[in-house]
Chains A and B, each alone.
Chain A
Amino acid sequence: MTRMIALVACLAATAALADARELPPAPGAPHEFRLPAKESLRLDNGLELTFIDYGSVPKVTLLAVVRTGNIDEGPDTWLPDMTVEMMKEGTATRSAEDIARAAAGMGGELSLNVGAEQTTASLSVLSDHAVAAAGLLADVLENPRFPESELPRVLANFERSLAVARADPGSQADEALAKLEFGDHPFGRVLPQEGQLAGYDIAKLRGFYERNFGARRTHVYVAGRYDRAALEAALRGAFQGWRAGPEPTDLPAKASETAQLALVDIPGAPQSSVRMAVPVPDPASAVYFETTLTNSLLGGTFGSRITSNIREDKGYSYSPDSSIDAHRGGALWVLSAEITAEHTAAALTEIYKEIDRLQHEVPAESELTPVKNYRAGIFVISNSSPNGVLGQLAFMSLHGLPDDFLTRWVANIQAVTPAQVTEIARTYIRPERMTVVVAGDLSKIGASVRALPQFAGIRMP
C-alpha cells in the first residue's frame, strides 16, 4: 500500500520519497489538443451532412448513420439484421459482386452494421475516390433490390450464426441478462426463436426497409482528407432525391430495477459467465461524468478495483470488465466476467465487497486523480482519428448531446469529486436493484451461488 501511495504522489508531481526506490520521472507539460472542427448542413429532405477535415493521409471515411435498428423490429427478432444483410446483395443497377469490386477498387470495403438504435453503412477509401464512394454508399441505402434468389443463402447464414450464438456460454448469459432487464421490449430479445427467421420473406424485409429507412433518419458523416466542394456536391446529388421517409420512432426501453437472479445451466463448463447489471444515469444526465468515472474506478480499467481484486490478486478471471451501456434515455452499468467454475461464488463475493466498499468509503483523491487522468488521456486518443471522431459524433447525435459534451469533457471529468463517486455508487450501483446472471455448470456451482447472502429471497424468474 505504501508503494502505491508513493507512486500516486509521483503522479501528482510531488517529491515524496516513500522508500529507497527510484521514482518515475514526472510527466512534462501537456501538449495542446484541439478537437477537429466540423461543419454540418441539412438537405431539403431532412438528411444531415457533417464534414470533418482531419488526418495526415489521403484517405476519407464516409459513415451513414440511420436511426433504426433492433429497436424497430417489434417481435421480429433480427429482422433488421437480415434486411440490412440483404441490402448488400444488390441494388437496382449493381450486383453484390459489383458493389464489392467497386469498393475494393477504391481501396475500401462497404460495411453495414445493425445496432440497437443506429444502423450504419460505412466506406473508407483513398481520397481520390471520395466522389465515387458517395455514389456507391447512396445507391446501397436508397436502391436495394432485395433479390429473392439470394434469400435462402442469407437465411442459412443467419441460422448458422444463431446456432453458434446458442452454443456460446457468453451469448447465453447475455441473452438471459437482456431478457431480465428489458422483458418484452425488443432489447429484451437478443436471439430469435427456433424457426422464426425462416418466416422473414422478401416482402417482410422490404417492408422493414420501407418503414425505417429514409433521409429524415439519416446523418452522413465524412472525415479525412478530401476535396470539400466536390464531395459535398456529390453527396447532395446522391442523397437529395431520396424520399424523406419516417421520423425516428420513440420506444423508450425501461430496464428492471429489482433484484433478480438467473442461473443458466451449461453442463461441463470450465468457467462461469457472470453478468451483473443495474440502471445508471444516461449520457444526457447531469451526473453522467461522475457515473462514467465511477465505472472506470470500480471495474472499467485494468487498474480498477474489481480487476485488481479478482484478477491480479485472486487469479479467478482473465478479463473481467465493466462498462456503461447506454441506450437512448437510459443506461446500464454492466459487469461481465468469465470465472473459473470453482471460484464462481468467491468471485461474486469479492465483487459485492468492492461495490460495498465504494458505497461506504469515499475514495482518496490520490486514487481518483489517476482515473481522471486516464479518461482525459483516452479522450485525446479516441478523438485523434477520423473514425474516432465519427463515432463520438454519432453517439452524441443519438443521445441528443450538445457540442460542449465534447468540448467540456476533460473539464467536466476533472471536476468530479471523490464524494460524488461514492454518491453514485450509493444511489445507483445497488445490489438490491441489480440483475445477475450466472451461466455455468450448475451441478458444480449452483448451490454455492444460491447460498450467497445477496441472493437470499431474490426473485428467480
Chain B
Amino acid sequence: MGKLWSLFFVFSAVIAVALCWFAPDWNWWFPGDGKAHSTLGGKIDDLFHLILIIVAVTFIGTQAALGYVLWRGATIKPEEKALFSHGSHSLEVIWTIVPSAVLLFIALYQLDVWAQFRIKGAIRDSHGKMVRPEPVAELTARQFEWRIRYPAKGKPLQPKPQPDDIYSVNELHIPSGRPVEVTLRTDDVQHAIFIPELRIKQDAVASLKIPVWFDALDNRDYEMLCAELCGWGHYKMKAKVVARSDEDFDAWKEQASAEQFDDGFRKPVEAK
C-alpha cells in the first residue's frame, strides 16, 4: 500500500509538470493567441516565466524528495532502523536564507517592470526628460459600460470636456506601436480595466483619475473587460480596444467627428 501511495504522489507531480509543459500547445495558457501584444506585456510574461521556472525547480525537487522518502518508507526492511533527527540548526538557516534570497532577487528583478507600468510615465528619465506617454483618451467606467472621450484630431487631451471632443462607447481606439496614456475613471463603483492580450489590468477607483500606460504592438482589436465584480451587470461590460496605425487612428477620428457633429441636413437630390 505504501508503495502505491509513493507512486501516486510522484505520478501526480509528473502529470502536473507534463500538463504545464504541453498547455501552451493546447492553448490552455495565456489568453488569445498566447502572445503578449505589448512591450511591457512581453516583460511581464518573462517575469511570469522566471517565477514559473523557480517554482518548477522547487516543485520538482520537493516532489522528488517526497517520492523518495515515501518509497524508502514503504520499502524499508524490518531490520533496518529509522534515523531519528530532532532539528538541525544549519538546515533551518539554509531553508530560511535560500528562499529569502530568491524572494529578494525576484523583488529587485521585477522593479523595472513595475516602474514602467506604474511610475516611469510620471518621472524624468536619466536625461532629465519626461517620458510620459501621450494621453489619448479618458476612459470612464460605469455600471455597465465604458464611455470614452478623446481630444479632437491633433489636439491634446484636456482634463475637462471640450466642445470638439470625440466620444465613443465600449470601443477604445488607440494608436498602435507607441506608448499611450489612458486616463481611467469611474462614474460610480469600483471597476477594473482588463485587456488580457496586452497584460493590462488596473482598478478604476471613484474620485481618482488613474493614468494607465501601455502600447499595442499590432493593428488589431483586443478584448477588454471589467475585472472587478461591479454589480449585477458586471458581465455586460464587454468592450474592445481598437489599435490602429496613426493614419487609421486619425482617419477614425475624422470619421467619428463627422458623425458626432452631424446636423442631419442633406442637400436634396436633384431631380434627373
Q: Do A and B bind each other?
A: no
